[in-house]
Amino acid sequence: MAAVDLTTHPGHLARRLQQAHYLLWNTMVSEETTSPQFAVLNALVAEPGLDQRTAGERVGLDRSTIAEVIGRLGRRGLLDKVRDPQDGRRFLLRPTDEGMRVHRKLTVRTARMNQVFLAPLSAGEQAVFFDLIRRVADAAEGLRDPAEPAAAPG
């Protein structure tokens, strides 16, 4: 049997993109704050007071991963957990002043990193690239719950 051309395998290409992103993130943005941690912090800056489940949904993290990320951000003093007055079993999350400071700093760095990451593409190609990967990522979200059929391509 002949070897397959992995350049036609989306998973292989996605892994290579993730490796490049990870390298750029660690060299240009932060070795201390991970990309998923930044995504959660960003969601809480946009919508302070989200609960853990909703924050995870906003950034596409599963329950165990969001719990770990929230724990790490909390231990670093970047977010506060406050008991929900309407539901004592639930905690609402808010960025601390330090969390806001870290978010501002990393936002500038991520903008620079994204310029480097996307440099091989023209502005028009970047728009198409984002549209295509967003559509695939959105469709992949439906694969998490087999009870919900994925939307047909439109």
What confidence tens digit (pLDDT) does each residue in 2-57 have?
Answer: 999 999 999 999 999 999 999 999 999 999 999 999 999 999 999 999 999 999 99
> Is-contact 92 51, C-beta < 8 A?
yes
Residue located via tokens 């996307």:
118
Q: What is the pLDDT of residues 92-140, one digit of tens each?
A: 999 999 999 999 999 999 999 999 999 999 999 999 999 999 999 888 8
Q: Name every residue whose Cβ is closer than 8 Å to that of residue 50 and which is 6 or more positions away in sequence.
A: 43, 44, 58, 92, 93
Query: Alpha-carbon distance 149 to 90, whole Å?
Result: 30
Beta carbons of 21 and 35 less than 8 angstroms apart: yes
For the cut 80, the answer to whether the pLDDT of residue 154 exceeds it is: no
Boundaries of every domain in the chain: 23-143
- 111's tokens: 């903008």
Give the three-class secondary structure for 147. Answer: coil
Alpha helices in the chain (DSSP H): 10-24, 35-46, 52-59, 63-75, 97-117, 123-141
State the angle between helix axes of 52-59 and 35-46 in degrees (0 to 180), rounded to the nearest 10.
Answer: 110
How far is the CA of 6 from the CAs of 3, 64, 82, 86, 138, in angstroms? 9, 31, 48, 52, 23
* Top-tier CATH class for 23-143: mainly alpha
pLDDT digits (tens, 9 = 90+) for 70-90: 999 999 999 999 998 988 889
CB 78 within 8 A of CB 99: yes
pTM of the model as a whole = 0.86
